[in-house]
Structure 1
Amino acid sequence: MNPTSPTPRQFLATAPAGTRVVVRYRIDSGFTDALGDLLGCGESECTIRTRRSDVDIPLDLVVAAKQVPPAPPRRGSRRA
């Protein structure tokens, strides 16, 4: 890791609310990702608004986090 790069925890703590992020974190069976908008980050957890729901992630379980580009526009219906 580059010494000037922030840790995932530092990135989440300093990123403004509304930033689109992907966060990789540990679960019982391995790892999973949350992709969505950062709602906020406290001392012990961050909240990501995914397409399905808001996800509260304990910062102790986060192994990676970064900003991602905006979601592409949804495609229209195939029925025309």
Structure 2
Amino acid sequence: MDSPATPHPTDPHASWRTWVPGQRVVVRRRVPTGGYTDVLGHLLAVGDDGVVVDTRRGPEAVAAADIALGKIVPPPPAPRRPRRG
């Protein structure tokens, strides 16, 4: 029996199942119109049904069936100092 933290052997692209809440991730999700959109933020929850990502607009749930790709990403760059001119 698979645990929620181990990838399903029948789904080689399900590396998101091994993620840990608190990590910064990007998830490419399928949309009903046939395209894709990205969800970027810190992972709040992960389970067999999908993930919840804390984005700039608030928490966003992504169903497992809608996840096309995903990866852990580095922290955002530090804010730039304003130019003087």
Partner residue, 1:27: 31
21-30 or 68-77, larger mean C-alpha shift: 68-77
SS in 2 for 1:13: helix
Summarize the alignment of residues 27-46 of structure 1 with structure 2, pairs less than 5 Å apart.
27-29=31-33, 30-46=35-51
Deviation at 1:23, TM superposition (A): 0.3
2:65 pairs with one of 53, 57, 60: 60
Larger Rg: 2
State how far apart, in whole Å, the 2-side matches of 1:58 and 1:40 are. 12
1:13 pairs with one of 6, 14, 17: 17
- From the two aligned structures, give the one with the greater helix fraction: 1
Gaps of 5+ in 2: 1-11
State how far apart, in whole Å, the 1-side matches of 2:82 and 2:59 are. 27
State the identity %.
Answer: 38
TM-score, with length taken from structure 1: 0.77
Letter in 2 for 1:38: L
State how far apart, in whole Å, the 2-side matches of 1:28 and 1:16 are. 28
Deviation at 1:76, TM superposition (A): 5.2
Gaps of 5+ in 1: 1-5
Q: Aligned pair count?
A: 72
